[in-house]
């Protein structure tokens, strides 16, 4: 094989491998977390969590679903990704205040929710944490 042909094949192989890796990554990232509604066991709630459920239903359920089970517009919050070791309570406050760029799911970015007060967010987090606990989601240290 001449040097000219070798260079052509090397460039072709480089682009073929790159395209294959990009395709594999696109397919893989879609399978990391499956989108959709999940089955959620609704527990008996504390008074604080009941207030959080009211605020959640009014402000969050249209995207995150009833009982935070997810919809075609937003992910379920009753998922191990949101365990307190991976997403601390403060992450929920920041999400409501600042919005969130898409990172775990194939949904779009979450816009800020300025209509939700800090007191309401505290109750929403309490609600989500109680429903998570009833569905076996507990603190696990996050490892990168």
- Cα-Cα-Cα-Cα torsion 58, 71, 75, 120, nearest 10 degrees, comes to 10
Are 137 and 80 a contacting pair, CB within 8 Å? yes
pLDDT at position 4 over 50? yes
Number of domains comprising the chain: 2
Q: What is the CATH number of the domain that holds 119?
A: 1.10.760.10
- Span 66-94, pLDDT tens digits: 999 999 999 999 999 999 999 999 999 99
**Per-residue confidence (pLDDT) for residue 17, from 0 to 100:** 58
- Do 81 and 108 lie in one domain? The reply is yes
- Domain residues for the domain of 19 are 1-32
**Per-residue confidence (pLDDT) for residue 2, from 0 to 100:** 65
Q: Give domain status of residue 99, yes or no.
A: yes
- Do 115 and 66 lie in one domain? The reply is yes
pTM of the full structure = 0.74
What residues contact residue 57 under an 8 Å CB cut-off, 6+ apart? 66
Q: Give domain status of residue 123, yes or no.
A: yes
- The model's confidence at residue 28, banded by pLDDT at 50, 70 and 90, is very low
Q: Give domain status of residue 109, yes or no.
A: yes
């Amino acid at each position: 094989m001449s040097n000219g042909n070798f260079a052509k094949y090397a460039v072709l192989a480089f682009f073929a491998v790159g395209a294959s890796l990009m395709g594999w990554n696109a397919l893989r990232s879609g399978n990391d977390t499956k989108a959709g509604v999940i089955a959620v066991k609704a527990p008996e709630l504390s008074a604080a969590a009941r207030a959080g459920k009211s605020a959640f239903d009014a402000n969050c359920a249209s995207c995150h679903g009833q009982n935070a089970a997810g919809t075609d517009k937003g992910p379920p919050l009753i998922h191990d990704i949101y365990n307190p070791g991976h997403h601390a309570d403060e992450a929920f406050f920041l999400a409501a205040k600042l919005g969130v760029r898409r990172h775990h799911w194939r949904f779009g970015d979450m816009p800020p929710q300025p209509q939700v007060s800090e007191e309401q967010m505290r109750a929403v987090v309490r609600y989500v944490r109680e429903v998570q606990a009833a569905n076996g989601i507990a603190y696990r240290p996050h490892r990168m």
